[in-house]
Structure 1
């Protein structure tokens, strides 16, 4: 069957083989083994090859026409412990404001950034501090550690934007709660046909919705479907960030040393312009 690729949560990519056409209108409840398989299949996926994406994040205030934005490049690969991401960011309003991050996803997230002296420094493994002041996006949103939390409860399958979606309630482990007591649980939704993550809602310890991630648009790139736009909304202020992919290069072989924490201050890999497809 024809394969598709959605780039969900920026880097945790997933090759997707469509189920039968009848699944597109199948809202039946999953059995316990079926629900477990949805999660295990998503967690176990490893795409072939590395990738690079050029993107822009724009912050919109609910009660203002003013916006702020930053542009960046995302490099992705996998090793035996899960996905590795390198992020290079610069403020569009002040290009001198630049930041670099190295993130490990999976069930043991790790995070490095550069300190005030431009030296690699390890920080909280799933930081909820925004990449830039006034943004909503954080390393936590890129790493999506909640997908790997073991306290996972299948809740229901229902219509979401016209499609059948499986919803799971993910409760954080004790060590995560000790560092982030403000997070109560995360509700995630997987498209039934493609087993792709299409939504994530972060709830506070008080049970109130704090933040919502949703897939907005996809586009065909290099014979595969890739994410074009994501939205992350602060449900308390109603402000939002839009993440837009400007160009993507797939099936790369990036140097392993580019993902070593001690090399974070070194120049990022140079991906030839002809490897990119503009979106």
Structure 2
């Protein structure tokens, strides 16, 4: 069974790995045993990952929507933690359509900002609606690396994962975050990258069993990754695996933001309109939904 919406926010252990000098002389946390793949096996693994997270169902899906309560806890280098509350939702498990609502409080009705992401192999898209703004706006590729809100290290880019279709190289296999994994390096086909002039590549560790992204490193030619995104814990809720915590560490600010899942609700009938760009202004009402606290 695949991890249900690794989600999201979705990428740390200090494990040893040699890094190609074109990406700097840092170490990637992978050690221990995991079966080495040949070229065809590596490509098959990556294609399975792509299909699992980038394929839109051709059939109408009913009674399968989900809604999660979460919080971003931001830990600055030398200040008190700051908490941001939010909702994460989608029309069905593993759907490439994802909605993120940032709230002023955990049980809030009106969103401070709402985002809609559609992951696609070749044409991912993103929109944003801000309270008090001029309406729903399209986010360009350069906007995807901007944080969800000021003071958060996580970004829409982490969920859209456009790099998954860049030229890649299977690097090795080992244990990442305590699990057998396979490591891939993706190099931007454009110089400079359309997302950021400084981005030179991305390193991804995929879980051997669940095909979930355990760790992502964003490279800019420095000794250390500019940002790391790593899964910290997950839990099985009924028939679904859900990610409980994901850390995003920023090299330059030396800050860390943790995504923490607080409550889940599955098997919902959410209006299809809330997963359309023109429906971002429509709030998702929590009061009628029975959540399971974690």
TM-score, with structure 2 as normaliser:
0.78
Question: Partners of 1:40 and 1:253 in 2: how far apart?
Answer: 31
> Given the alignment of the two structures, is residue 35 of structure 1 paired with residue 42 of structure 2, yes or no?
yes
Higher normalized contact order (CA 8 Å, seq sep 6+, divided by chain length) = 2
Does the CA-based 8 Å contact 1:59-1:134 persist in structure 2? yes
Question: Partners of 1:70 and 1:32 in 2: how far apart?
Answer: 43
Which of 59, 64, 85 aligns to 2:98? It is 85
* 1:1-279 correspondence to structure 2 within 5 Å: 3=1, 5-10=3-8, 27-45=34-52, 49-64=64-79, 66-77=80-91, 83-91=96-104, 98-107=112-121, 108-114=123-129, 116-125=132-141, 127-146=144-163, 148-174=164-190, 177-206=193-222, 208-268=224-284, 272-274=288-290, 276-279=291-294
- For structure 2, list consecutive stretches of 5 or more residues without a partner in the other structure: 11-31
Does the CA-based 8 Å contact 1:189-1:197 persist in structure 2? yes
Cα-to-partner distance string for 1:23-58 (whole Å, 9 max, x where unaligned): xx8523201111111111111125873321110001
Cα-to-partner distance string for 1:71-125 (whole Å, 9 max, x where unaligned): 011111369xx711111102459x8981111111223221111255341111214
**CA deviation after TM superposition for structure 1 residue 270, in Å:** 5.3
Q: CA RMSD in A?
A: 2.8
TM-score, with structure 1 as normaliser:
0.82
**CA deviation after TM superposition for structure 1 residue 131, in Å:** 1.4
Question: Partners of 1:265 and 1:27 in 2: how far apart?
Answer: 46
Does the CA-based 8 Å contact 2:66-2:92 persist in structure 1? no
- For structure 1, list consecutive stretches of 5 or more residues without a partner in the other structure: 13-24
Task: Report how many aligned residue pairs link the two structures.
Answer: 259
Of residues 31-40 and 113-122 in structure 1, the stretch that sits farther from structure 2 once superposed is 113-122
Question: Partners of 2:137 and 2:177 in 1: how far apart?
Answer: 41
Question: Against the structure 1 CA distance between its residues 162 and 84, is the aligned structure 2 distance closer, same or farther, given a 3 Å change threshold?
Answer: closer
